[in-house]
Chains A and B, each alone.
Chain A
Amino acid sequence: MDKIVYNSRFFMDKPCMRSFFGITILLKSVCDAANKDLHNALSNFNCLAIWYTIRMSYKIQLNIFEGPFDLLVYLIEKAEMSIYDIEISVITRQYLGHIRRLEESDVAVGSEFMVLAATLIEIKSQMLLPRITPAGETMEDPREGLSQKLAEYVRFKRAAAALETLREDAGHKLEKPQEDLQPFVGEPDIFLKMDMDRFIEAFRAFIYRRKKTEELQHMRRHIERERVSLETKIGAISELLRAAKNHVLKFGELLAKITDRYDKVVTFIALLDMAKSGQLIARQSQNFGEIEVENAEQG
């Protein structure tokens, strides 16, 4: 197959082995050679992807550009333009063409790419308008903001490359793992000075206490209040509302008689749920004021 592309990354991820390795494929030179070849290149990738899928059940992810800025900078770079003097109409056409080709090849194009496409078109339209105010002042170049952003991106892209080089050298220095310090940390054993009699006495006391608690546990019966379910609570509240004057109740009244925290929470959730399903209407005339709930079905 033809010489292919670079600057695109071809990732394979085999989840069961948690192994992951990146393969750099030369995708860019295909675009350089002729843009129509990109389609071919991608279909070759597909074959490869299928091959790997069958052989090793690899998940394949294809990232061609790191983001819209990456693509735009690549196009500007290729056209040998200046970031501060972009020929918007040329670049916009190329950018949109690129996205269209990606879409034709069934590559999902992120919304970020579309946002930048819109920005480019907006700038392009602004470029058509005269940039002199009626007062005769020159207005800001509509490309200004984009240029600044791209320049900033290029700086960090370069810094990323510098980091990669640094890492290459740093990787040649190997560290040593820490010695096993486990025996030296943690709580030391505590030794008590005791004679045999006192020890026996202490042990007896311990046995006695143990026996007592066991006896008590036998006699004690576990009583727990039955917990109210949300459904029951909703039923109870709608009954209260129906019985109330004008079908209106104050939130405070509803909670007044409840002492159990769990019950309070259930009541509150029940009210929220009923408000959501339109069974009641909650009203509050001012901040921190009393909340009134009204039966919506009746009103």
Chain B
Amino acid sequence: MQNRDRIKSAFESLLFVFGEPMDVRTAAAAVGIEKKEAQEIFRELARAYEERGSGIRIREIDGGFQFVTFEENYDYIRAITTPARERRLSQAALEVLAIIAYRQPVTKGEIDSIRGIKSDRVIEGLAAKELIEERGRSSAIGRPILYGTTGRFLAYFDLKDLGELPQLEDEELEEAIKSFGEYTAADEAAPAKTLAGQTELELL
């Protein structure tokens, strides 16, 4: 297959059929071109969707590409669905996930030590959701299992790769740790956000 437009068209079909993030290497092999060229074509295709203002967009996840709906159309999608709420991750799950994301590969012992509490069940839950996976074993005593995040994790948080994770240490936070007086004031806005999407119960 020679023609660039022809390949672009083929990639579009592949993305449609595949649904899940399509690995660039696989797509390149399917049409018989180099990986780098395939990546360029995918990016061109993604740009074309954006420029057209399409309701379907192509996002790059973990070295692959995937069709997703345009985020600004979310409210309309919700309008046609029964208001089923997404099962959110618990605070504990988010904490464990954050530790694994920034410190991977990491053992359960290290996670427990940072949180000051056992995380066994949370880890099980995250593994069942395929957000984390086992990454072999540490050479430390007892050869504990190492955990890392998955491709699913990147898609779940809409991250191109792990480099897109927000900074773990920033000046503002370090200042806050030094003096909680100012931090509390700045932090007051955050809770409203956490509450917004959650089911609230009217208390009698």
Determine, out of A80-88, A189-197, A257-265, the stretch whose residues face the partner at the interface. A80-88
Identify which of A80, A172, A181 gathers the most chain B CB atoms within 10 Å of its CB.
Answer: A172
> Smallest CB–CB gap between B54 and chain A, Å?
13
Q: Which B residues, 69 to 101, have Cβ-Cβ distances below 8 Å to chain A?
A: 69-72, 74, 77, 85-92, 94-95, 97-99, 101
Q: Which B residues, 149 to 170, have Cβ-Cβ distances below 8 Å to chain A?
A: 155-159, 165-166, 168-169
For the A-B complex, the count of residue pairs with Cβ-Cβ distances under 8 Å equals 174
User: B3 in the interface, Cβ–Cβ < 8 Å?
Assistant: no
Inter-chain contact A69/B116, CB cutoff 8 Å: yes
Inter-chain contact B77/A22, CB cutoff 8 Å: no
Inter-chain contact A116/B200, CB cutoff 8 Å: no
Contact bitstring A163-196, B, C-beta under 8 A = 1, else 0: 1111111111111111101000000000000000
Contact A172 B74, CB 8 Å, known A159-B102, A178-B18: yes
User: A149 in the interface, Cβ–Cβ < 8 Å?
Assistant: yes
Q: Out of A24, A157, A161, A174, which one reaches B200, CB within 8 Å?
A: A24
A85 nearest CB neighbor, chain B only: B178
Inter-chain contact A162/B166, CB cutoff 8 Å: yes
Q: Out of B66, B101, B115, B204, which one reaches A175, CB within 8 Å?
A: B66
User: A9 in the interface, Cβ–Cβ < 8 Å?
Assistant: yes
- 10 closest Cβ pairs, A-B complex: A67-B117, A170-B158, A178-B19, A160-B94, A172-B74, A159-B98, A69-B116, A80-B181, A172-B71, A173-B68
Interface size class of B (residues with CB under 8 A): 35 or more
A162 nearest CB neighbor, chain B only: B166
User: A224 in the interface, Cβ–Cβ < 8 Å?
Assistant: no
Interface size class of A (residues with CB under 8 A): 35 or more
Q: B139: which A residues are within 8 A, CB to CB?
A: none
Inter-chain contact B116/A153, CB cutoff 8 Å: yes
Inter-chain contact A66/B92, CB cutoff 8 Å: yes
Q: A173: which B residues are within 8 A, CB to CB?
A: 57, 59, 68-71, 74, 158
Identify which of A20, A44, A160 gathers the most chain B CB atoms within 10 Å of its CB.
Answer: A160
